[in-house]
Structure 1
């Protein structure tokens, strides 16, 4: 432990911080300066010394990039689901004539 119970930010800490920011902050907040504020808040909560400004920039950029990739993947999945439903519905043929008799008149 360093000064006042805070430890230096390790590579594992930086990766963990980037993942946390991507999952909990960067999906809603796209402004790097705001994500940086959340990074420093998280460091304080985890008793991690604040990273250098350059390292903060890299952690924030990694979090924003991961959130962007995640959102793009979710959008692509949603689009493919909508496209497949449209294809299914366009293949359906609707019968516009009323049934002459009950269900027994349907072909088997």
Structure 2
């Protein structure tokens, strides 16, 4: 395969700056944005090489791994560098599988045998977090994310999709793995509720004494109307 043949001669990638540029291009590339989180790779071959080539330190992590475990770990390691999260099997682009297989000298078809549950993959994730200096999110981290969304994002954007999309970049900045899907929904709900409370409190503070009195009169009338059996 052409991709696998290239990997045999490409050697190790260059500088940290070049790898950072690869992450930026990957995040904004049509190959990712059109189908979501790297399901296919339609970008230039040089970007594939730059983004998915293991360096010397990364190869050292594969020293005691073989077969499907070696291939799967290598792909998870580079995917995390690009996305700052762990992939599902279907998230990993096929050209990347073939390219990685050429580097680690494992048949690309063995990727299907990589175990996506159990103690082995949990150990792999822990290794990858440590390597990239990330950690799992705590409840305290989730509270901070909700506060950040409520104060910085909600005032200009209330779309849940936009709020959800803002979290990965913030998590990368804080060096934490994004919360699980169910926990993300909790963060979004907490952020929306916090923003609404803050907005209401700020609005009331800005009202004049006279305006507050008139609003209270309207509320009294509304309640009387609801309790009037003739209505």
Answer whether TM exceeds 0.5 for this pair: yes
Q: Is the Cα contact below 8 Å between 1:32 and 1:61 reproduced in 2?
A: no
Report how many residues are paired: 85
Query: Which one has a larger percent helix, Structure 1 or Structure 2?
Result: 2
Checking the alignment, whether the CA contact within 8 Å between 1:18 and 1:62 is kept in structure 2 is yes
Q: How does 1:38-57 map to 2 (within 5 A)?
A: 38-57=166-185
Go from structure 1 to structure 2 and tell me whether the alpha carbon gap of 1:81 and 1:15 turns closer, same or farther (over 3 Å shift). Answer: same
Quote the residue 1:30 is aligned against.
158
Give the structure-2-normalised TM-score. Answer: 0.34
The answer on 1:6 being equivalent to 2:128 is no
Post-superposition offset of 1:83: 2.5
Give a deviation string over 1:4-25, Cα, whole Å, max 9, x none: 2210001111111111111111
Task: Tell me which moved more, 19-28 or 72-81.
Answer: 72-81
Which fold has the larger relative contact order, with Cα–Cα distance below 8 Å and residues 6 or more apart in sequence?
1
List, as ranges, runs of 4+ consecutive aligned residues in structure 1 with deviation greater than 6 Å.
none
Q: By how many angstroms is 1:40 displaced?
A: 1.6
User: How far is the alpha carbon of 1:81 from its aligned partner?
Assistant: 4.8
Q: How do 1:1-108 and structure 2 match up within 5 A?
A: 2-3=129-130, 4-81=132-209, 83=211
CA contact (8 A) 1:27 1:68 kept: no
Distance 1:73 1:21 in 2: 18
Gaps of at least 5 residues in structure 2 are 1-125, 213-231
Cα deviation 1:25-76 (Å, max 9, x = unaligned): 1121111110111112100111110111111111011111101111111111
Q: Structure 1-normalised TM-score?
A: 0.69
| RMSD, aligned α-carbons | 2.1
Match of 2:137, SS state, is: coil
Q: Which runs of 5+ in 1 are unaligned?
A: 85-108
